[in-house]
Structure 1
Amino acid sequence: MRILFSATPAYGHVLPLGSLMRAAVEAGHAVALATSAGARDTVGPELPEEVEFLAAGVMPMEFSLDAASRTGADPFHPGPELIGEIFGGSRVALGGAETISLAREWAPDLIVAEIFDAIGPMVAAALSIPWYQVGFGPATPAVITEIERVAASRYRDAGLTRAEPLAYLDPCPPQLQDPDWSNRVPVLPLRTQAHRRPRDLAFELPAFTNPARPTVLVTLGTIFSDPQVLETTVAALAGLEVNVIATVGSSLKDPNADGPRPGARTDGVEVGYVPFVPLGQLLDRADLVVGAGGAGTVLGALAHGLPLVLWPQGADQPINAARAAAAGVAITIERADEITSAVRRILEEDTFRDRAKAAAAENDARLSPADTVKEITEGALG
């Protein structure tokens, strides 16, 4: 079968599809990814080399600014209405037709689209083929409804009508999901796997002087990786008997620029700063996570049975953090001066870790990516 994955051109939207792409390749299917050309250099190395790129459309900054210019809204503090215009309006207008053209040539049998992606459903409608939708965190129905509403007008302009997906693939643990949430289509629980590259990563993680100390992974993700917030977060761990691995994300573009260096010390705490490294590899070394609350970080940590301290910075992070706190697997904070006590509490109280391990056990019982690919391909054949 020929499976076309479709995603917004950003790490947090493409990488949650990575395990399914890998499973599809291993099952012998032809696999392609429809996303903007500008994402090829960044996400390409994170995916199986067999994945073809159908490069169309523009990058997030361009379609976000386009939506903001049409609505007059602030693109850096978007509400549901602007998010709808960004993903359902501008991104579709600036890449939908080109993607359909490329997809006709590639001739997929099935589309798999992440939940913020409105182009995949458009391609499915244009080619009259089935599709599945993939979530990557707790459901945000108000936001998704706006994306679908705005996209519907773009579809009508193209003479198309969006069909419902055959199912929604849900990687979110029930502990984090809104108990009142329901979906219009069948829900298939999907096992979360923290991102790993399909090929070996030649990168040596920090070796600490005292490896017996708990290791704290500090990661703000790939978008909200403000260097000042990162340094403030790391500094707040001073005085605790821990080792720290901190990801610089996009906060240190030039490796020769001034900034945090590997092997640094902050008031006696050893800190190993690392560039972008697949999350799964980092979580293998961690005992707890301090982060901003991105869905990939939260779900990946729980898949490893690790509790979290979350300081939301934007986007869907406040929702993810609130759900994680309600599930008892995380402490959510609002200020940097709350970090120290939150980390100390998680290290000292077993309850957080016990609940995180329960989430990991529930995740392990879900359909693996390989079983999911088998299920969706058989479902597409009817």
Structure 2
Amino acid sequence: MRVLFSSTRGSGHFGPLIPFIDACTARGDDVLVVAPPGLETLLASRPQPYRIGANPPDDELRRMMDRLRRLPPDEGVSSMTREVFGRLYPDALLPALDEACREWRPDLVLHETYEPASVVAAERHGVPHARVAICAARFARAGDPMLDAALDRYGPGLADRIRSSPYLTRLPASLDPSPYPVTHRYHVPGPHTAPPEGRHHGEEPLVYLTLGSEVGALPTAPDLFRALLDAMDGLPVRALLTVGRGIDPASLGPLPPGVRVERWVPQDDVLGSACAVVCHGGSGTVYGALAAGLPLVCVPLFADQPFNAGLVVEAGAGLAVTPANGSAGTTVTFGGDDVSRIRSAVEQVLKDPAYRTRAEQLADETRSTATCAQLLGLLDPRG
């Protein structure tokens, strides 16, 4: 089978495609990835062939992002979906995707939720397509009307055909019921964590701290990371904070006892030995933690993070601490008593076994779903 993959920029968008790309490679399928220039460094480090499309015009994208940063959070998400994911990036990527479908002739197109240009190209050339979720299904569905308006110019009914295409999600049904008619759930084999009593004698529990791959680029990032470090001060834990490649760990100042800061570590490696996760509520981190049976403390900042934090709390698998000074985009900061609230939440999820029990139940549910390879076999149009 020949499978064309497409993504917008950002590891949170491309990351969910990677298990399917790897599964295709393991099956002996032919793979081609089409993405914007922001992903070229990552794609060049991988063995699969790729093509780089265009970026939106710099001036227009810059003006749009400056405007979005000044909007309230809900308005910012709506405008980002409509203008950036529904208009600017599709217009820029469509020529490369159209050429790939015409010349390379894939049997199947797999795209992440917010990359619709590949569907335009697939429909033009009669190629089946499916979506790989990068967020909760109900959050994606709430944004569909914004995409609809942008996609109408490519042809009537395109948005409806996207919604009726297979929707592939890592989140278990009890956590994230799907409104899409053809929903397939899958899991990525990962770490199986040891229970707390399985730690080495005398070793304090390990708490993993992360704000994802995008926060490090924000002007408020050093203050956000510093607040997480301060929240660990005085807790009887070990902690590992990852800050991304754009932040110098030394710039964060003195570390509390038992705390280590790294630019990056393989997430599965740390989840396999952690007892809890403190994060921004990004879909990738939330999925990884719950798939490993770990309770969470979510400190949501923007985008789908407040929604994901709500899912975690509703499921009983963790707690959420909304920043007192929460705002849109790059202006979000921690303030007031946020540090003490985060510290108290970490103490609570470590002390009360009910949070871990619920997280482990979700992990068991996740492991009962299909593998990526099994879904590829189901989606193979050759039968």
TM-score normalized by the length of structure 2: 0.84
Question: Separation in 2 of the partners of 1:219 and 1:239?
Answer: 19
Task: Give how far 1:73 is off.
Answer: 4.9
**Equivalent AA in structure 2 for residue 170 of structure 1:** T
Task: Give how far 1:99 is off.
Answer: 2.5
For 2:33, the equivalent position in structure 1 comes to 33
Question: What do the CA deviations read for 1:210-267 (whole angstroms, capped 9, x no partner)?
Answer: 9711001000001123121111111111111111111012551xx5x85148xx641x
Gaps of 5+ in 2: 192-199, 323-337
For 2:183, the equivalent position in structure 1 comes to 187
Count of residue pairs the alignment pairs up:
350
For 1:313, the equivalent position in structure 2 comes to 301
For 2:237, the equivalent position in structure 1 comes to 242
How do 1:97-176 and structure 2 match up within 5 A?
97-139=95-137, 140=139, 141-153=141-153, 155-156=154-155, 161=158, 163-164=161-162, 166-176=165-175
Question: What do the CA deviations read for 1:79-122 (whole angstroms, capped 9, x no partner)?
Answer: 31442111011111222123212332222111001111112211
Question: What do the CA deviations read for 1:268-322 (whole angstroms, capped 9, x no partner)?
Answer: x212211223321221231110010000000000010000001011111001111
Task: Give how far 1:126 is off.
Answer: 2.1
Other structure's SS at 1:79 match:
helix
Contact conserved, 2:24 with 2:31, CA < 8 A, in 1? yes
Q: 1:258 to 1:353 in 2, by over 3 A?
A: closer
Question: Separation in 2 of the partners of 1:61 and 1:83?
Answer: 18
For 2:352, the equivalent position in structure 1 comes to 349
Higher helix share: 2
% of aligned pairs identical? 26
Question: What do the CA deviations read for 1:165-216 (whole angstroms, capped 9, x no partner)?
Answer: 5411121122321x5x511x31111114569xxxxxxxxxxxxx99711001
Other structure's SS at 1:190 match:
strand
1:219 aligns with 2:210: yes
Contact conserved, 1:96 with 1:119, CA < 8 A, in 2? yes
Question: Separation in 2 of the partners of 1:281 and 1:241?
Answer: 22
1:259 aligns with 2:251: yes
Question: Separation in 1 of the partners of 2:89 and 2:359?
Answer: 36
Task: Give how far 1:324 is off.
Answer: 0.8
Q: 1:66 to 1:340 in 2, by over 3 A?
A: same
Task: Give how far 1:127 is off.
Answer: 1.6
Question: Separation in 2 of the partners of 1:75 and 1:100?
Answer: 35
Other structure's SS at 1:31 match:
strand
Q: 1:301 to 1:333 in 2, by over 3 A?
A: same
1:55 aligns with 2:56: no
Instruction: Return the match for 1:292 from 270, 280, 293.
Output: 280
- Once the two structures are overlaid, the 10-residue window that deviates more, 298-307 or 223-232, is 223-232
